[in-house]
Amino acid sequence: MNTLETIRSRRSIRKYKKGAVIPKEDLKQILEAAMMAPSACNTRPWEFVVVENQEKLEEIMAVHPYVSMLKTASLAIIVCAKPEVQEGICPGYFPEDCGAATQNILLAAAALGYGTCWCGVYPMEERVNAVRNVIGVESTPFAVVALGVADETPAARGFYDETRVKWL
C-alpha cells in the first residue's frame, strides 16, 4: 500500500479482535515510524510507553473517559511529551511534535494492517495527571493510541473540501 492509500484507508477503530497478538517486530517498526517524525530543532521531545498488561489497560480506562476500546485492543501506546528538552532551544513546540509522532504511529500501523484509535490526553490536566500516575512516568502523557486487529470497518469520515482551501 502506498502512502496516499494508507492515509485514505486509515480509520479510528473502536472494536478489535480480542486476544490478537502484535509481533514485537511490528511494534518496533511502528515505534521507529513515530521517532522518525519531524520535531522542532530535532529535539524529539517524546517517549513512548507500550501497555500490554490488561490490568494497566483497565486502570487507564478507569481514569480516561474515552478509551473504552482498550477492552478489546491488543495494547496501547502512550505518547508522552518531554517539553523540557526544548527549553532554551525552541520551546513550546512539543504538541506539534508529539502530534506528528502520533500520526506516524497511526499510519505505520495502518500500513502493517492494524487498526488504531487516537485518544487525546494533553492538555486536559486532570487526565494528564491520572494517566501519568497509572503508567508511572514524569513526562506528560499526550495521547493514548489503542492498537490491535480491527473488528470493524467504519466508513471514511474525512474528505477533501474545496471550501477550506484558499489559493493565492
Q: State pLDDT tens for residues 132-164.
A: 999 999 999 999 999 999 999 999 999 999 999
3-state helix, strand, coil in the chain (%, to 5): 45, 20, 40
Encode 48-63: b = buried (16+ Cβ within 10 Å), e = exposed. Answer: bbbbeeeebbebbbeb
Q: pLDDT tens digits, residue range 34-61?
A: 999 999 999 999 999 999 999 999 999 9
The pLDDT value given to residue 1:
73
Q: Could you tell me the three cell numbers for 95?
A: 504538541
Query: What local confidence, expressed as pLDDT, does residue 33 receive?
Result: 98
This prediction has a pTM of 0.97
Domains with residue ranges and CATH for the chain: 3-153 (3.40.109.10)
**Sign of the C-alpha dihedral, residues 19, 30, 134, 11?**
negative
